[in-house]
Amino acid sequence: MQFKINKVLQKFNFGGQLGFLQFWEATSGCNDSVHMVVGQLYRLNGNHEGLTDYRATCLHYETFIGPDTHVDPEFFAGLAAQTGFAEQRTVHDHHQIMGQLVMPVFTNLRSHQTFLGVIEFVTLPPKASYVDDFNQLYRLLKNENFTTPEEKTVKVEYENKTRYGKDIIKFSLHWTSAGMNDLWREVTKRFKRVNQDAFQIKYVDHNNNTIPIFRYEDLRACIADSSWNDMKTIKMLIA
């Protein structure tokens, strides 16, 4: 596995950008958790004190990520491990000195996907977008028979009282646009009869509990819960 990940890092084209790539390796822990630690799989393009300081900090950091953990938002690679989704921090995020792209890496097997760790791409200064870098890393991972999720399927149910039944829709949220505005847009354009000023979207977890989704953090928590509980589809309902 390490040989193949290293090939991905070595083949990556920085496009002249000052930055580095590193791999956070996941090993099995207790209670369905994984132990996250950065190893020696690392590639630096250019030299900058801020980058080397950040790398040194990562080398001394380790944590456990699992279905019941709450990841420190500053541990960006841990957030990707928790949600099972790629994340980016760009020039548009406030107070960002460095830009970051983190991508969870899985084995690309049809029957079962095993979480291996997270690739982290760090740049100085932050970029406006890391979509091109995501696409490049996605192709390189695919060539080595690895994968990273591009999107998550969402199923939303609405109890239509006028027709005595349920309306069900399905759509996908892409990692670059998995925000509240996108969720709201996808739901409202499909459910025309819903009172758009007086409805609430709720997540249905693996125990059939309903959790209101009010903001971006709620949505990411739902994505994380569905990933850790191996739910291929995020189930929601309108109340």
Q: What is the mean pLDDT of the chain?
A: 84
- How far is the C-alpha of 58 from the C-alpha of 54, rounded, in Å? 6
Mean pLDDT of 71-81: 82
155 and 138 housed in the same domain = no
Total count of domains within the chain: 2
Per-residue pLDDT tens over the stretch 128-170: 889 899 999 999 999 999 999 888 888 888 876 655 567 888 8
Four-point Cα dihedral 168, 171, 177, 180, nearest 10: 0
198 pLDDT tier (thresholds 50, 70, 90): low
168 and 220 housed in the same domain = yes
73 and 116 housed in the same domain = yes
85 and 178 housed in the same domain = no
Mean pLDDT of 182-190: 83
Helix 216-228 and helix 76-83, axial crossing angle in degrees, nearest 10? 60
**Strand pairing of 201-204 and 151-160?**
unpaired
Q: Return the top range by mean pLDDT from 21-35, 71-85, 120-134, 179-193.
A: 120-134
Q: Which two tokens stand for residue 176?
A: 């670059």
Answer whether residue 212 shows pLDDT above 80: yes
43 and 117 housed in the same domain = yes
CATH code for the domain of 193: 3.10.20.90
Sequence-separated (6 or more) residues with CB below 8 Å from residue 203: 210, 211, 212, 213, 218, 222, 225, 234, 235, 236
Q: Which two tokens stand for residue 10?
A: 């070595």
pLDDT confidence of residue 84: 84
Q: Is 149 helix (H, G, I), strand (E, B) or coil?
A: coil
Residue 149 preceded by cis peptide, ω within 30: no
- Domain boundary among the residues 107, 132, 147 is at 147
What are the counts of helices (DSSP H) followed by strands (DSSP E) for the chain? Answer: 6, 12
pLDDT confidence of residue 225: 79
34 and 122 housed in the same domain = yes
118 and 156 housed in the same domain = no
- How far is the C-alpha of 133 from the C-alpha of 176, rounded, in Å? 12
Separation in Å, CA 187 to CA 91, 194, 196: 30, 9, 10
143 and 155 housed in the same domain = no
47 and 126 housed in the same domain = yes
121 and 172 housed in the same domain = no
CATH code for the domain of 97: 3.30.450
- Domain boundary among the residues 90, 124, 147 is at 147
118 and 143 housed in the same domain = yes
pLDDT confidence of residue 110: 67
pTM greater than the 0.85 cutoff: no
Range of the domain at 73: 2-147
pLDDT confidence of residue 121: 97
- How far is the C-alpha of 153 from the C-alpha of 219, rounded, in Å? 13
- Domain boundary among the residues 147, 166, 194 is at 147
Mean pLDDT of 4-18: 94
23 and 117 housed in the same domain = yes
Contact 197, 116 (CB under 8 A): no
